[in-house]
Structure 1
Amino acid sequence: MSPASSSAARRTGVALAASGAILFSAKAILAKLQYRYGVDSLQVLALRMAFSLPLFAALGVREHGRARARGALPTRRDWGLIVVLGVLGYYLSSLLDFWGLEYVPVSLERLILFLNPTIVLLIGLFAFKRRVAAREWTALAVSYAGVVLVMVENLRVEGDHVLLGSALVLGAAVSYALYLAMSGELIKRLGSLQLVAWAMIVSTAAVLIHYLIARPPSALFGLPWQVYALAAANAVFCTFLPVTFTMAAVGRLGAGTAAQFSVIGPVSLVFLGAWVLGEKITAIQLVGTAVVLGGVWLLSRPGANSVPLPASATDKTSG
């Protein structure tokens, strides 16, 4: 790629990553609002995925046609990886995240998910034998110290259930970081939009199968209309758009750099949670949030990209 086209791809990737981070964050607010109508995490997740399914199916059909034209249809091995990524990245991660939101405020949920860059860095260390500089170890320590500070304060304000919720959300963060790190090969070969369309369809199937095993289908009907309206908004604005934006950003920036733009999420949710949901904000929570942001900022400096994609990956995702 020429320097000009590479620079343009990076600017586009930055805009997509930032937009995706903001929209992703808002899903926690919508889920919390749905919980006020007596539904639980599995119902919220099932409705979200069911409403988003037609969007991803349409995207999948379009991208399948484009892939056929350029000879980039998934192989049998690719389909196996797509199933793994769909279950790992969107089914498991979303299930743990929404479950955790039953126990923790949105500001803490987003702060834990904000550890994605540090988790991707550790995946790069253990799975890809990447060398980690002393500055990056410092950033890791600072980030996790900030999360612990906020968690302890939330334990004082909210109660012991915060520990369970925090563990669930951390599991969601690890699951999604694995998805980001493992998706690079398929993005390079298939393109980001084709991958995300099929992965989300797999994830939706997994969620609905889980729901049908655990609950009667009738439990999804006859709910207050507000639950369905919030689910539809969650599906379009906090699932379909940010997922496609984020995967396109990964294709242009690499997994580590794209993950770093989650910085916008915890900052916005600290105040949105207080404004929309009435959640408490304390000085210690603000200090802890600032500490975590500082740690991830250190990782965002040049040379801190943990699991980068080859530059050629942008060639297959720019369309």
Structure 2
Amino acid sequence: MSPQRHTHLDALAMALMMGLCALWGLNQVAAKVANAGISPVLQAGLRSAGSVLLLLVWCRFRGVRLFDADGSLAAGLAAGAMFSAEFALIYWGLEFTPASRAVVFLYTAPFVVALCLHWLVPAERLNRMQSLGLIAAFGGILLAFGDNLSLPDGRQMIGDAMLLAAAVMWGGTTVLIRTSRLSSVRPSKTLFYQLGVSALVLPPASLLLGETGIIGQPSTLVWVSLAGQIVVVAFASYLTWFWLISRYPATRLSAFSFLTPLFGMMFGAWLLGERITWGLGGAMALVAAGIWLVNRK
């Protein structure tokens, strides 16, 4: 039975998206902490492997059948492959371009969602004011991180292209879930496809990229950071995200994702002593205005 779909975001959806964006912003800090002991792509693979085991236990407890034939296999494997490619491209691209520059290119993903769903799902189409809201929210990202933009050199062009490709993978995964059989299966099964495929693909990708893997003897803080990513991010938050996609307009949900790097900047300053750019206040205002325009009735 397909879940009931809403045409607009209600208070529950907006509150959940705010919480998810804060968690994903905090995850940026957790990943940086874990990078001190575990290479990034391997870290993502271990995160998926731990989360898929947790998901199997959860589904067993809830009586959810993950392996019944329901016509979602092809779309599920494709979504898992795109999810894996997204992370591999992000971490590989960061070898060529700074993280603060990469954010700008990665957060073109909501435009991929908006443009694709505009043509594929009439109910997801944005009007002119909503499109302006999406542009305003992206303007907030430019204001917060744009001081790191300049004409790229050869290496940065490679990294920028990889981050743009990762954005296409990210947005494309959301579009695929929204427009395929995955839109009507349980969110736990959609998550199982993504975690299962990435758990198999990312560790070998780490070797191909020449990562060190486990670096020395990781500290307790490194393992705690990885455990938090497994339980809170890859399991709980992604399960919530897929639940939201199955019930609410994906384009309107995606507009909230512009908050994630801003939360990440704030958590980085608070927990790691990182620098906050002068435009953060204005960026928050632009993103908030953009989200309002996209989601207003």
Alpha carbons 1:100, 1:169 under 8 Å: kept: yes
Q: Which amino acid aligns with 1:56?
A: L
Q: Tell whether 2:191 aligns with 1:196.
A: yes
- Structure 1 residue 18, shift from structure 2 partner: 3.1
Residue of structure 2 aligned with 1:94, choices 78, 87, 90: 87
Relative distance call for 1:6 and 1:256 in structure 2 (3 A) is closer
Deviation string for 1:160-182 (max 9, x for gaps)?
98776665444333322211121
Structure 2 length-normalised TM: 0.77
Residue aligned with 1:283, SS: coil
Which whole-Å CA distance do the structure 1 matches of 2:144 and 2:253 have between them? 25
Aligned position for 2:141: 147
Aligned position for 1:310: none
CA RMSD of aligned residues (A): 3.7
Deviation string for 1:56-76 (max 9, x for gaps)?
33345557x5348xxx9334x
Which whole-Å CA distance do the structure 2 matches of 1:41 and 1:289 have between them? 28
Please give the residue correspondences for 1:37-48 in structure 2 after superposition, counting only pairs within 5 Å: 37=37, 39-48=38-47
- Structure 1 residue 15, shift from structure 2 partner: 4.1
Residue of structure 1 aligned with 2:270, choices 257, 275, 278: 275
- Structure 1 residue 141, shift from structure 2 partner: 3.7
Q: Tell whether 2:165 aligns with 1:171.
A: yes
Aligned position for 1:17: 17
- Structure 1 residue 235, shift from structure 2 partner: 1.4
**What are the ranges of 5 or more consecutive residues in structure 2 without an aligned counterpart?**
none
Aligned position for 2:26: 26
Aligned position for 2:240: 245
Which whole-Å CA distance do the structure 2 matches of 1:286 and 1:45 have between them? 31
Aligned position for 2:78: 84
Q: Which amino acid aligns with 2:57?
A: A
Aligned position for 1:224: 218
Which whole-Å CA distance do the structure 1 matches of 2:214 and 2:194 have between them? 24
Q: Which amino acid aligns with 2:261?
A: P
Alpha carbons 2:258, 2:287 under 8 Å: kept: no
* Residues 49-58 or 138-147, more deviating: 138-147
Greater fraction helix? 1
Relative distance call for 1:66 and 1:79 in structure 2 (3 A) is same
Relative distance call for 1:140 and 1:18 in structure 2 (3 A) is closer
- Structure 1 residue 115, shift from structure 2 partner: 4.7
Alpha carbons 1:110, 1:269 under 8 Å: kept: no
- Structure 1 residue 111, shift from structure 2 partner: 6.5
Alpha carbons 2:102, 2:160 under 8 Å: kept: yes
Relative distance call for 1:60 and 1:244 in structure 2 (3 A) is same
Aligned position for 1:51: 50
**What are the ranges of 5 or more consecutive residues in structure 1 without an aligned counterpart?**
303-319
Which whole-Å CA distance do the structure 2 matches of 1:10 and 1:149 have between them? 29
Q: How many residues align?
A: 286
Alpha carbons 2:117, 2:251 under 8 Å: kept: no
Amino-acid identity (%): 21
Alpha carbons 1:151, 1:162 under 8 Å: kept: no
- Structure 1 residue 268, shift from structure 2 partner: 2.2
Aligned position for 1:256: 251
Relative distance call for 1:30 and 1:125 in structure 2 (3 A) is same
Deviation string for 1:140-195 (max 9, x for gaps)?
44344443444431248xx9987766654443333222111211233443221222
Deviation string for 1:222-255 (max 9, x for gaps)?
5413433322221112211110111111122232
